[in-house]
Amino acid sequence: STCSVLSKDKDKSAASTDGTPEGAAKRQEDGAETPKQQLLDIIGDMKVEVSYRKKLQQLKASENKKQAVNKLEGPDSEGSVPQGITEDAQRGKPLNPELVKAASAVASSLPRNKKQTESELLAQLRRHEETTDKQKKGGTVNIRNVISEMTVKRQSPAQWGARISSRISLRLDEDRQRIRPDRSSAQSMDSRSFLFFYRSLRVGKRLNIFTKASTEPEHALKTVPSPTIWDLEFAKEVAAVTAQPPRNGFEEMIQWTKEGILWEFPIDNEVGMEDDAEFHEHIFLEKHLEGFPKEGPIRHFMELVICGLSKNPYLSVKQKVEHIEWFQKYFEEKKELLQEI
Question: Comparing C-alpha atoms, which of 133, 48, 299 is closest to residue 58?
Answer: 48
Smallest distance from the beta carbon of 184 to other proteins, in angstroms?
A: 51
Using CB under 8 A as the criterion, what x/- string covers residues 280-309 for binding other proteins? -----------------xx-xx--xx----
Binding of other proteins by 246 (CB under 8 A): yes
Enumerate residues 6+ apart whose C-beta is below 8 A from 14. 52, 55, 156, 159, 160, 163
Of 26-34, 52-60, 239-247, 268-276, which part binds other proteins (CB under 8 A)?
Answer: 239-247
Give 172 or 341: the residue with its C-beta nearer to other proteins. 341
Binding of other proteins by 327 (CB under 8 A): yes
Q: Would you call the peptide bond into 293 cis, given omega within 30 degrees of 0 as the criterion?
A: no
Enumerate residues 6+ apart whose C-beta is below 8 A from 61. 24, 102, 103, 105, 106
Binding of other proteins by 317 (CB under 8 A): no
Binding of other proteins by 234 (CB under 8 A): yes
Smallest distance from the beta carbon of 341 to other proteins, in angstroms?
A: 5
DSSP string, 89-117: HHHT----HHHHHHHHHHHHHSSS-HHHH
Give 141 or 229: the residue with its C-beta nearer to other proteins. 229
Binding of other proteins by 235 (CB under 8 A): yes
Q: Would you call the peptide bond into 181 cis, given omega within 30 degrees of 0 as the criterion?
A: no
Q: 113 phi and psi, to 5 degrees?
A: -60, 115
Smallest distance from the beta carbon of 326 to other proteins, in angstroms?
A: 6
Q: How many helices (H) and strands (E) does the chain have?
A: 16, 0
Of 17-25, 87-95, 254-262, 284-292, which part binds other proteins (CB under 8 A)?
Answer: 254-262
Assess contact for 2 and 8: CB atoms under 8 A: no
CA distance 61 to 151: 25
**Residue type at position 311:** K
How many residues touch other proteins under the rule CB under 8 A: the total is 36
Binding of other proteins by 238 (CB under 8 A): yes
Catalog residues that contact other proteins under the rule CB under 8 A: 222, 224-227, 231-232, 234-236, 238-241, 243-246, 255, 258-259, 297-298, 300-301, 304-305, 323, 326-327, 330, 334, 337-338, 340-341
